[in-house]
Structure 1
Amino acid sequence: MLHLRVISPAGSTAEAVERLRSHAGTAHLVVHHGVAVEPDGDLVEADVAREAADEVIDLLCGLGIDHDGGITLEALDAALSDSADRAEEAAPGVGADAVVWEELVSRSGEESRLNATFQAFLVIACLLASVGVITDSPVTIVGAMVVGPEFGPLAALAVGLVLRRRDLMRRAGLALGVGFPLAMVVTALVTLLSEAVGLLDVTAFREGHAAVDFVYHIGWYSLIVALLAGAAGMLAMTSAKSAALVGVFISVTTVPAAGFAAVAAVTGDWLRSLESVGQLAVNLIGIVAAAAAVLALRRRGQRVRAAGRPLSAG
């Protein structure tokens, strides 16, 4: 269940309440008249089955409340109520399979912003990857995968492609287009410093990274893993199963490839540096393509079910 909170202009409250009351997927409807200060109006609250949330939001937006008032949603960990159970049973579909589109747009938009926190995580992840590359440590490489924040902008790109939201695509493109090069430059500078103080033996590096050579080896499995990771990541985001995202982070070679490219460039190993950049590009493109495909299929499925006809293979 989701908790719906609506600030409604006084002139729209009666119709909003009627629309909520008439929808089978709502429960626990409460109205507080005249309590909203900014914007001025009434406060309407209800619990909504996740699979009914999109329909309910559309009903309220049809009254212009998203412009003249406000609509917020938050997840409920538990709802002990017969009326809540009836609402979930009456709502179309299954809650775990439902996509709340406004929630997805808001979440992906927030996680795709280029800001100091995003850049710091990406720099730290690339530095961890560089340490893993220099020490030939797969464990450190995995740690860099987990720290990397890049799936947020990649998911936002997919959402932007499917929903034709150019604002999301621009924001995500900026985060990736600025974030990765800057993180790689910082990693290269730190690598130069490591070489200067004797922490990095260039000869040993060129001869001794067999345990992490998967980072720059491009093959069909690179694309296959990226596609599977993108699909799993989007499924996790749209079904609120965020725990699965950790597995997505560990499976893709984005940050490690960026870190390897920087270290290899500093040591003069340009072939492997270019191969690492290629690996990075394959993973980024594969993740976005698969995530967009999953999102498009889920959107089409919801539209077909809403139209009351079976999902066809065509």
Structure 2
Amino acid sequence: MLRLHVSTPADLTEAIVDVLQGTEAVSSLALIRGASVLPAGDLVVADVAREGANDIVNRLRDLGVHQRGTVHIEPVTTWLSRAGLTAEQATPGSSADAVVWAQVVQHSYEDVEFNWTYVSFMVLATFIAGIAIVLDSQILVIGAMVLGPEFGAVAALGVALVRRRGLLLGLAARALAFGFGIAIAATCAAALVGRALGWVALTDVEGPRPGTAFIYTPDKWSFIVAVLAAAAGVLSLTSARVGGLSGVFISVTTIPAAGNVALGLAFGAWKEVWGSSLQLVVNILGMALAGWLTLALQQAVWSRVPARRSRLLPGTGDDRPR
């Protein structure tokens, strides 16, 4: 269930109410006239079944509400309502499968914002990856994977392609290119300092590393894992179930590969640089491709599945916990 807050000029209020009253996905509707100060006008509040939100948002956009007012969408975590259950049963699709594209696009723009926080996480994660390689520590490699913020930008590439957002595509590509570039440069500089102090030697980079050798030896499995992880990650981001994201972060080898590139550059270990660069490219391409295909499938197929929840959950709902 989602809650819609619409602040609107008074001349649009009746049209907005007509849209919301005209769909079975809405379980409750309130109108507070004169409550909005900016813009000057009214406040409309509605509870909407998640699977019916896209149609409502699109119709509000057609009215120009987003240009003259504000549409605020937020999840309702807990609710008790017979009307709400009826709305979910009557609306085609499943709430867990439903993709609210307005939310997805907004989150994508937030994830690709190239700011101090994003760069800091990229650099710190790559630092940890570099230390993991020197110590041949799989635990530290996993920590670096979880800390890296790059998946949001990779997923945004798929969102941009599916929703045809050229600006988002450019921002995502910039965030990835500059983020990895800065992280590799900073880690390379740190490695040079460690080399000068005698803390890191060439043998730490080129020597046997059974625990982290996968970082610079890409193969078909690298691509397959990247595809599967990205598909799971996109499903987590677009659905109401986000529990799989931590597994996605641990599955892909982007940040560790960037750390190994940095160490290879610092010590002139060009075999390491080449292998890790290829690993990085393979993972990003695999994730971008899988993200695009998963989102395209959701847009083309899942939103049109006419399975009604009432067929899956028979009864009035009085005996089901909410």
TM over 0.5: yes
The alpha-carbon deviation at position 210 of structure 1 amounts to 2.1
Map of 2:179 onto structure 1: 179
Residue-by-residue CA offset, 1:40-76 (whole Å, 9 max, x unaligned) = 1100001111000001112222221111111010011
Residue-by-residue CA offset, 1:212-235 (whole Å, 9 max, x unaligned) = 000111110010001101111111
Map of 2:277 onto structure 1: 277
Within-5 A mapping of 1:1-314: 1-302=1-302, 304-305=304-305
Higher relative contact order (Cα pairs below 8 Å, separated by 6+ residues): 2
Q: Could you tell me how far apart the structure 1 residues matched to 2:205 and 2:220 are?
A: 26
The alpha-carbon deviation at position 201 of structure 1 amounts to 2.3
Q: Could you tell me how far apart the structure 2 residues matched to 1:303 and 1:259 are?
A: 40
- What is the RMSD computed on CA atoms of the aligned residues? 1.3
Q: Could you tell me how far apart the structure 1 residues matched to 2:304 and 2:7 are?
A: 32
The alpha-carbon deviation at position 300 of structure 1 amounts to 0.4
Aligned length: 307
The alpha-carbon deviation at position 155 of structure 1 amounts to 0.8
Q: Could you tell me how far apart the structure 2 residues matched to 1:51 and 1:255 are?
A: 36
When normalised by structure 1's length, the TM-score is: 0.95
Q: Which runs of 5+ in 2 are unaligned?
A: 309-322
More deviation in 199-208 or 180-189? 199-208
Q: Could you tell me how far apart the structure 1 residues matched to 2:207 and 2:155 are?
A: 37
- Partner secondary structure for residue 143 of structure 2: helix
The alpha-carbon deviation at position 162 of structure 1 amounts to 1.1
Q: Indicate the percent of aligned positions where both proteins have the same amino acid.
A: 40
More deviation in 110-119 or 9-18? 9-18
More deviation in 57-66 or 273-282? 57-66
Residue-by-residue CA offset, 1:85-120 (whole Å, 9 max, x unaligned) = 111111110000001111110011111111100000
Task: Letter of the 2:35 partner, please give it.
Answer: V
Task: Letter of the 1:281 partner, please give it.
Answer: V
Q: Could you tell me how far apart the structure 1 residues matched to 2:204 and 2:216 are?
A: 18
Residue-by-residue CA offset, 1:222-259 (whole Å, 9 max, x unaligned) = 10001101111111111032221110000000000000
Q: Could you tell me how far apart the structure 2 residues matched to 1:122 and 1:207 are?
A: 26
